[in-house]
Structure 1
Amino acid sequence: MLALTHQFVAQLPNIDCLFGPLTPDGGLPVQLGRPASERRLTLMLDTARLRDLAYCAAQAQRARDSLGIH
């Protein structure tokens, strides 16, 4: 799981990522935010899809868009 989360985090430089415990349905919550900002975002990642680079890229883009980082 650690290698899979690194793949996701690597696409989000300068963004703090805090992962929560797995949910019963296999979801992985991650709280995202910039260090100097109070704005936070929580995403629920699908652990079965974390191996898919396109999925990680899409979720990372979703996070950047939601946090106003372009």
Structure 2
Amino acid sequence: MLLQLKDSGELVKVIDVQELLNPNQDVVHAQQQEGQEEQQADSYKKENLVFPSGESLPRCWLDADYRNGKAS
């Protein structure tokens, strides 16, 4: 799955989508999509990622207590 870094607009490819969907994990491993060479995997905080459209990630991917109405 491709996501975008908020600050730079660069695209990153998430290696393990389950990391992204797990609200108890605040970091995902992804590869920057630069040039034609495959890049090394790096860690990215979920709070710094958005969909390529600019839309934020769903709260249920970021906050394990999203059903309680409390922001963590």
Name the TM tier (shorter chain). Answer: 0.3 to 0.5
Higher share in helix: 1
* TM-score w.r.t. length of structure 2: 0.35
Structure number with larger C-alpha Rg? 2
* TM-score w.r.t. length of structure 1: 0.36
